[in-house]
Amino acid sequence: MRKNISNWGNYPVLNCEEVSFSMEEQLTQYVNTHDHVIARGNGRCYGDASLGEHSVSTLRFDKVLAFDEENGVFECQSGLTLDQILDIIVPRGWFLPVTPGTKFITIGGAVASDVHGKNHHSEGSFSNHIVSMKVLTAKGLTECSPETEPDLFWATCGGMGLTGIITTVRFTLKKIETAYIRQKQIKARNLDEVLQLFEEHKHYTYSMAWIDCLQKGDSFGRSILIVGEHATKDQVAAKAAKAPLELPRKMKLTVPFNLPGFVLNNFTVKLFNALYYAKNTKRVIENTVPYEPFFYPLDAILHWNRGYGKDGFVQYQFVLPMDKKDGLVAILQKISEKGWGSFLAVLKTFGKQDDLISFPMEGYTLALDFPVRNGLFPFLDELDALVLQYGGRLYLTKDARMQERVFWDSYPNAERFREIVKTWNPAGKFRSAQSDRLNFQFA
């Protein structure tokens, strides 16, 4: 059925033919008889990466195929969400090897975006934990792994669906004793302090910082660093220790409709940020919390994206190499001068990664939301120029507006990626509004 679809940023809204499937045969038949096809999971990428003429929803393709509870190896169809996987694996003492800041994404989306989490510096991105997967390419269903068909494998991890439709994924899990995280929060007065804190805490498995992008002067870049480790049984309170792998059920809040655009303005955002910073009255707080608020603080508010109003927003996420701290300062300054930034931005250090087309590289990554408004895109183009100048790049899964040149100039293996995609998707059968925007020449 044709309908208007948008992803999490509510921008852009495109009219797409949406189809779904629950069995492999249905998918194969559809792909064989249609062009301009792109897979779509739970719609949690922010922009147009999973929108296209024929948007194929994987959400009904959601079966668990194997779970080796001894060795922690899990296999499922691509439409299963992390949320459902956690419900199955956590009570049995296992956890996702890598998780982004929402659990409402599908496993296919996790692979296609090669998602990273708070543990990137210590455990890499999702692709680092994949044993093997199957992809329905233009040549048919193909199994791939770092050993078999490695080109297809690496072009599919972070490849935004351009090699075909991921059907099943087999990946390794992480052993846990409890469903709790031993967390430590440290307030940093400015950017220098938070970057130093990252360095001092790099032995922690998980780390990230909330940064207030509207501050200037001495408080420029003030942040709260949050680090954590999976709690062991003896680290949780006596009550929780009785059932250490179970979490109390909680009420979910929701934003029931799009808030009017004026609700979020410079004043309310500043106020929110000030309150957020002030809520930690002590400089250092250490406590044990369930994994949900630690990994997924925003998932507690369903449809929080509606808070940005009906025009939508874009999330701007870039990475800069470790030695380009001056670049980070320059970009943050530009953002704070403009004053258009969102509530809180996320700052994180990445560890080494040198894949074909994945976003992460060793360095600093910053992510923040900008509500769509007049003049936003020219401003983001200016930021892009700085990102390029300092040798960084933008995260494709957040992207809704990057200009063609920025992508091809910033991803060092883009040309090689295109060559591999061409062998599996020669006529551009699999293409998205994003790949069209970036002028991805398949032929």
Partner 1 sequence: MPTVLILGAGSDIAVALARRYAAAGFTLQLAGRNPEQLRPLEQDLRIRHRIAVTVHAFDALDFTSHAGFYRALPAPPDVVLCVFGYLGSQEKGQQDWQEASRILHTNFTGAVSILNIVAEDMAARGKGTIIGISSVAGDRGRMSNYLYGSAKAGFTAYLSGLRNRLWHSGAHVMTVEPGFVATQMTGHLALPALLTAQPGEVADDIFKAAEKKKNVLYTKWFWRYIMMIIKNIPEPIFKKKKL
Binding-site ranges for partner 1 (CB under 8 A):
1, 3, 19-23, 25, 60, 62-67, 77, 88
User: Smallest distance, Å, CB 8 to partner 1?
Assistant: 19
3-state secondary structure of 400: coil
3-state secondary structure of 291: helix
- CB-nearer residue toward partner 1: 4 or 281: 4
Q: CA–CA separation, 199 vs 349, rounded Å? A: 9
Supply the DSSP string of 107-133, one letter for each residue.
Answer: HHHHHHTT---TTHHHH--GGGGEEEE
- What H or E segment, with its residue span, contains residue 66? strand 64-68
3-state secondary structure of 399: coil
Query: φ, ψ for residue 352 (rounded to 5)?
Result: -65, 140
User: Smallest distance, Å, CB 52 to partner 1?
Assistant: 18
The closest alpha carbon to 169, from 134, 203, 215, belongs to: 134
User: Smallest distance, Å, CB 252 to partner 1?
Assistant: 16
Tokens of 325: 């701290």
- CB-nearer residue toward partner 1: 67 or 408: 67
- CB-nearer residue toward partner 1: 59 or 194: 59
Q: How far is CA 420 from CA 41, 80, 136, 153, 372, in A?
A: 23, 27, 15, 10, 35
**Cis preceding-peptide flag for 12 (omega within 30 of 0):** yes
User: Smallest distance, Å, CB 17 to partner 1?
Assistant: 10
- CB-nearer residue toward partner 1: 25 or 234: 25
- CB-nearer residue toward partner 1: 25 or 70: 25
User: Smallest distance, Å, CB 100 to partner 1?
Assistant: 23
- CB-nearer residue toward partner 1: 84 or 205: 84
Q: How far is CA 268 from CA 261, 272, 274, 276, in A?
A: 12, 6, 10, 12
Q: CA–CA separation, 12 vs 435, rounded Å? A: 14
User: Smallest distance, Å, CB 55 to partner 1?
Assistant: 13
Query: φ, ψ for residue 342 (rounded to 5)?
Result: -90, -175
User: Smallest distance, Å, CB 321 to partner 1?
Assistant: 43
- CB-nearer residue toward partner 1: 59 or 110: 59
